[in-house]
Structure 1
Amino acid sequence: MKKQRKMNSALKRLIMTLMFLALSAVVLAGCASGGGSETASGDGKLKITATTGMIANVAAEVGGDDVVVTGLMGSGIDPHLYKASQGDVKKLDEADIIFYNGLHLEGKMGEMFEKLEKQKPTVAVSSQIPESELHGNPSGDSTSHDPHIWFNVKLWMSATEVMRDTLVEKDPANEAAYKERAEAYLAKLEELDQYAREQIATIPEKGRILVTAHDAFGYFGAAYGLEVTGLQGMNTMSEYGSKDVSELRDFLVEKQIKAVFIESSVPRKSIDSVIEGARQLGHEVTIGGELFSDAMGDPGTEEGTYIGMVKHNVDTIVNALK
């Protein structure tokens, strides 16, 4: 019996020793793999948090398999009115890089970005666009610009280059891959820019007037040859009144405009009031279709990508106005 107890005791000590050695090996392995990593993700990939879907899409295209991208604002979300949730704050905290539009698009998040940029790369993708190429605020505010830069594909190419350069600086080991993917994507944007020019040019010149719920398409009109007007200003935080409705109604009647457009991220009731006003004056106006302005379409659809969104807008406008 005594001999048996000694054997059991020795066996227990052996098991405890083996468990200790195994645990030590796991801890050491964890230190070896995690101690030198500059990324927040456990697999060594850069964690990127982007505000709008347009930015998230480009970051994913350029970053490829070397990044994990999280977008804060989904389809149908208006960035002008967006407020960050507690979950968003966590995503921003855990990110290695934060990309945002800038130019006061994400107006309610400005102070947050100022604090975060002291801790990690927090980059406005509009930062390298020359001021001479930015549109002013129609309200006369000299301190701000029209933030809807993605509607000029050439300007969005600049945003793509900013994201590429930021990724290269943060993760130089994958520089070649980032540059190769960016070059391929920029070539697609060149084709998209040419497509927009060619298609808009098929609309009779007299009919190249784009009327929407809010003034988001200024860059688009300037780049591709359309006169653009909206019921609200370029920021949906601004209110519209009866005077705005009557002025736009009179504009539709005077120019004999047959179609206006609603937007996926703006309630259509605003434009419906203009259509009804024109009808009362004997002028019939139809909805030419839904455009994507401040947000892309649903994930998994063509319109859920930047290129697909722009093509959808171009095709919708041309089909209604041609």
Structure 2
Amino acid sequence: MIGKRRGWTAVLLVLSLSLLLAACSDGGKKPVKNESGKINIVTTIAQIAEPLSVIGGDKVEVHSLMGPGVDPHLYTATQGDIATLENGDMIFYSGLHLESNMLKVFEEIGKNRPVLAIGEVISEEKLLTDEGGAIDPHIWFDIDLWKEALSAAADELKKAYPEDADYFEDNRKSYFEKLDALKEEAMQKVAQIPQDQRILVTAHDAFGYFGRLLGIQVVGLQGLSTEDEIGLSDIDDTIATLVEHDVPAVFIESSINPASINAVIEGAKKRGLDVKLGGELFSDAMGEAGTKEGTYLGMYAHNVDTITKALSGEEQSR
């Protein structure tokens, strides 16, 4: 019954969106700036919104539909979201089936205004897949790939608003210099972790690109999506890996229930290994707006610092 109710909700939301767009359609003309003279950008996740607010500067207003602690794998658009999207001049989402419950909404709204899945500009050979061939959508953890995705959004901005193209490009270059510095700093810090302890255990498999970029083995109890099931064999296999490599810490995620990680900690203790909770990482969502972790740079640096301290034995939480 719950599944049917959700299905009807999705149908009604798409129908509502279709009616709104039919009433407000501009015939596919170039988007116009809002009353404040700024471009109204709507994104799904904050990992897109915050960098675009930097690249767009004072020429844009950016709104993210999904805030701190929100799981994009499970997110379904609300009536309020539809109104927000309808008022947007440009819409950017990550794609690669991260926001799978919103694809019909994007299809409808894309008939009347620019809508771009920025992750889908990445060439297929650069993407990670799981054993079943599903693409890993968490590309923001590879700084180089995220630069490509953000560049695609910046290019759309420049194309739609050529009068501000030089401004956007200058901001993009300046911001990307900071991303390059962040990547270099992250690589230096991770190098401090003993080689055999570079094993990152989290609730779900969101850190594959992070691990590939920085040379860390990643173990996620769930699959790429938080809709995947966690079996006892997943927990047992993870505990065996921790014991084999004497890994000192595991991590919870800000948008994921910590129960599975707590089960791993308890299971490891029964095997004689005192595994600590290394701290909370940001995976599918960033921190609160106005905090360091509410920025892409700050969120990424927080994760690197938390992982490095815990796995190198410098600092472990309870």
**Root mean square deviation of aligned Cα:** 1.3
Q: 3-state SS of the aligned residue for 2:119?
A: coil
Deviations 1:25-81 (A, max 9, x none): xxxxxxxxxxx9942511221110000011000110111111111110111111101
Residue 91 (structure 1) shift: 0.6
C-alpha distance in structure 2 between counterparts of 1:40 and 1:73, whole Å: 23
Distance verdict in 2 for CA 1:100–1:38, change over 3 Å? closer
**TM-score with structure 1 setting the length:** 0.86
1:72 pairs with one of 65, 89, 98: 65
The alignment status of 1:320 with 2:313, answered yes or no, reads no
Residue 83 (structure 1) shift: 1.1
C-alpha distance in structure 2 between counterparts of 1:218 and 1:257, whole Å: 18
C-alpha distance in structure 2 between counterparts of 1:110 and 1:251, whole Å: 37
Residue 242 (structure 1) shift: 1.6
The alignment status of 1:50 with 2:43, answered yes or no, reads yes
C-alpha distance in structure 2 between counterparts of 1:104 and 1:302, whole Å: 28
Percent of counterpart pairs with the same letter?
47
Amino acid at match of 2:92: F
Checking the alignment, whether the CA contact within 8 Å between 2:196 and 2:245 is kept in structure 1 is: no
- Structure 1: gaps spanning 5 or more residues: 1-35
Matches of residues 1-322 of structure 1 in structure 2 within 5 Å?
A: 38-39=31-32, 41-136=34-129, 138-140=130-132, 142=133, 144-322=134-312
Partner of 2:14: none
Moved over 6 A (4+): none
Aligned positions, number: 284
Deviations 1:223-258 (A, max 9, x none): 110011111111101111222122212222222211
Amino acid at match of 2:162: P
C-alpha distance in structure 2 between counterparts of 1:152 and 1:211, whole Å: 18
Checking the alignment, whether the CA contact within 8 Å between 1:40 and 1:94 is kept in structure 2 is: no
C-alpha distance in structure 1 between counterparts of 2:237 and 2:191, whole Å: 28
C-alpha distance in structure 2 between counterparts of 1:115 and 1:205, whole Å: 49
Checking the alignment, whether the CA contact within 8 Å between 1:278 and 1:284 is kept in structure 2 is: yes
**TM-score with structure 2 setting the length:** 0.87
Q: 3-state SS of the aligned residue for 1:127?
A: helix
C-alpha distance in structure 2 between counterparts of 1:317 and 1:234, whole Å: 20
Checking the alignment, whether the CA contact within 8 Å between 1:164 and 1:182 is kept in structure 2 is: yes
Checking the alignment, whether the CA contact within 8 Å between 2:31 and 2:90 is kept in structure 1 is: no
Q: 3-state SS of the aligned residue for 1:276?
A: helix
C-alpha distance in structure 2 between counterparts of 1:316 and 1:297, whole Å: 14
